[in-house]
Amino acid sequence: MEILDKERRVYVLGGGISKFAAERTDGNMRDWMNEAVIEALEDSGTKIEDIEHSTTSYFSDHFDKQLKAGAIFHDNIGMCPKPNVRVEGGGGTGGLAIRNAYAYIKSGLCDSMIVFGGENMGRQVPSDVAQQFIALASDTDWEVQVAGFYIAYYAMMMTAHMDRYGTKEEQFATISVKNHRNAMYNPKAHYPMDITVEDVMNSKMITYPYKLLDNCLLSDGAACLVFSTEEWAKKNARSWGAKPTIEVTGTGCGTDFMRMADRPFPDPGITHFRGKQFGSQQAYKMAGIKHPREDLDCFEVHDAYSGVELVSYEDLGLCKPGESGKLAEKGVFDLGGDLPTNTSGGLIGFGHPVGATGLGQGVEVLRQLRQEADPKRQVELNSKRGAMDSHGGTGTFCAINIFERRD
Amino acid sequence: MGLEQINTLMEVFTAEDPMPFMHPEGDPWKDFREVMRLEWKMDFTYKHVLGKYSKFFIELANKKFVTTECPGCGKVWGIPRPVCADCLTITKWKELPGTGTLVGYSVSQFVPAFMKVEIPYVLSVVKLDGADTPFTHQLRNYGDSTDNIKVGMPVKVAYTEEKVDHPLLLMYFEPA
Ligand SMILES: [Zn+2]
């Protein structure tokens, strides 16, 4: 895989996020999308009439009970008759949508693209119905029928990890503490909280080894990003030159079998995210990153459950297999540590409106690289690079994207 | 009659601005804060086809555990598939002894209401003897405590005697 046209580059001009919350009864998914779009247009200093293409990012047709909802989001912001495409890959949808923007612009199909994503996952259906909808993203003939659901799948992965490496519950509890804490400095976060490892350990056991506070949340919300070439930005974006220039320098994607059971045994077996290993290596190679823990200033990691973030560290090459728990305990991934992760609060603290999640990661990395984040969560810039990792299923679709500041 | 004319009406209420910190000049949506909420019920029944792995379920009713072996590369998939995903050869059915080893499990104290299972509920991944990849199913009859469950323990396929809502529930795993 070689990027042929090294001259043609893709930039992130701006982003917007509509507050993530347990339930946004003030509006519906269409309203949140509009809010995120308006903010992204303001942030990028662009006008919708100049933008050539859009990408829709949402996961579930069940939650919003509206098929081809992208048509509505697209027409609501006056994009007709310009082209739109929908991207879908479960929890990885937003990450794949960013990758899609890169591909479309890089190929020359368009010079500019607006990517909007959201999900209507809050409290409009009871939580057990929501769990059922999400379970439909595992194999409905073979997994759902044995009463499989997501926390149970992830819990199996984690018990396998604990058995293999001696990873401890207290170690992944630190992830929940960190992400809820980081969310305190993000006014758009769903679940900011100042808690301790003991609080996590003492929270209600849901599915061993995961307690209530190890889990991410079902959230309502939307996010949006605007991308373009340099030439287009110079002509159409007031932000160009006025705000730091942020380039998309790497994108990678990997997959694995839908059912964990089918994955090559014992490696990755049910322990590791093979798709994440594969996708991150692609992205690092493209961005010229050799040692991701040193070569990145921040990393938004897909923390659907606290242990998932630990295993992801290993599969993203931030540490060796089995090492993640000890490093997390030492604070390596805290604000002020070697590589701060989920400065936004992540899925656990910021929230997880699926189609918005990956785009929200992108907005966070953009804000960090522009040094626009709340001072309490702003990272120190050294390499001026930030990464995001987003996955669907139990690592079925994995998308890793890298932004870099060009001064 | 007004709002009472709407059979599905749940409520009309005034929503608060969820992002006042973004709007120091005042709420830009202030004219759009009256919200209506309806009840919307949907109920579907499908006539679902289990396709080319139907035989697996038919054999479960005969208390036999069958899966597929690839005549091309020899791989035995724990969960049957009509085409080998490694070499795309059409597979052959093969009966397994139904014994195996526990490779992962989780213990749920709460489950969504749609799942008709007893609490605590144990979902397990089992590497079956004679198969190259594992199989996912419930682990039952593990004794008086879930502490008895250990990765690496021997388990076997057991068959259900009562009526079930899905043929996959004709089996489960239990300690061997
Ligand atoms: Zn084969």
- Residues of chain B contacting A135 with CB distance shorter than 8 Å: 112
pLDDT for A146: 86
Q: What pLDDT is attached to residue B111?
A: 81
CA of B74 to the centre of ligand 1 (A): 6
Residue B25 pLDDT > 60:
yes
Please tell me the predicted confidence (pLDDT) of residue B157: 98
B44 contacts chain A (CB < 8 A): no
Residue range(s) defining the domain that contains residue A18: 11-124+219-245
More confident residue, B111 or B136: B136
- Give the angle B17-B18-B19 at the CA atoms, nearest 5°: 90
Q: What digits encode the pLDDT tens for the residues B123-132? A: 999 999 999 9
pLDDT of residue B68: 98
Give the best residue of B123, B138, B150, B151 to mutate against chain A (max A CB count within 10 A): B123
Task: Specify if A133 maps to a domain.
Answer: no
Collect all residues with Cβ–Cβ distance below 8 Å to A297 and sequence separation of at least 6: A339, A340, A368, A369, A379, A380, A381, A382, A383, A384, A385, A386
In this predicted structure, what is the pLDDT of residue A2?
Answer: 57
CA of residue A3 to ligand 1 center, whole Å? 33
For residue A30, the domain's CATH number is: 3.40.47.10
CB A315 within 8 A of CB A273: yes
Of A180, A210, A245, the residue at which a domain comes to its end is A245
Q: A132 lies in a domain? A: no
Mean pLDDT of chain B: 95
A248 vs A111, A220, A227, A330, B100, CA distance in Å? 14, 27, 9, 31, 48
> What is the pLDDT at residue A271?
95
Q: Where are the beta strands (DSSP E) in chain B?
A: 9-14, 34-38, 66-69, 76-77, 92-95, 99-108, 121-128, 135-138, 154-159, 171-175
Hey, are the CB atoms on B116 and A187 less than 8 Å from each other? no
- pLDDT value, residue A139: 94
Is the CB of A156 less than 8 angstroms away from the CB of B125? yes
Question: Where do the structural domains in chain B lie, given as residue ranges?
Answer: 2-38, 51-175
Contacts of A10 (CB under 8 A, 6+ apart): A101, A102, A105, A106, A227, A228, A229, A247, A248
Nearest Cα neighbor of A48 from A106, A103, A113 is A113
Give me the pLDDT at residue A166, please: 97
User: Structural domain tally of chain A?
Assistant: 2
The confidence score (pLDDT) of residue A128 equals: 82
Partner residue opposite B107 with nearest CB, options A25, A154, A208: A208
Q: Do A164 and A100 belong together in one domain? A: no
CA B129 – ligand 1 centroid, Å: 18
pLDDT at B114: 76
B105-124 per-position pLDDT tens digit: 999 988 877 777 888 999 99
Per-residue pLDDT of chain A (407 residues; tens, 9 = 90+): 555 677 899 999 999 999 999 999 999 999 999 999 999 999 999 999 999 999 999 999 999 999 999 999 999 999 999 999 999 999 999 999 999 999 999 999 999 999 999 999 988 888 888 888 898 999 999 998 888 889 999 999 999 999 999 999 999 999 999 999 999 999 999 999 999 999 999 999 999 999 999 999 899 999 999 999 999 999 999 999 999 999 999 999 999 999 999 999 889 999 999 999 999 999 999 999 999 999 999 999 999 999 999 999 999 999 999 999 999 999 999 999 999 999 999 999 999 999 999 999 999 999 999 999 999 999 999 999 999 999 999 999 999 999 999 98
Is residue A117 one of the residues assigned to a domain? Answer: yes
Instruction: Give me the pLDDT at residue A198, please.
Output: 98
Residue range B9-23: mean pLDDT, rounded: 96
Rounded to the nearest angstrom, the minimum Cα separation between B45 and chain A is 15
Q: For B86-107, what is the mean pLDDT?
A: 97
pLDDT recorded at residue A183: 98
% pLDDT > 70, chain B: 100
Q: Establish if A213 belongs to a structural domain.
A: yes
pLDDT at A1: 52
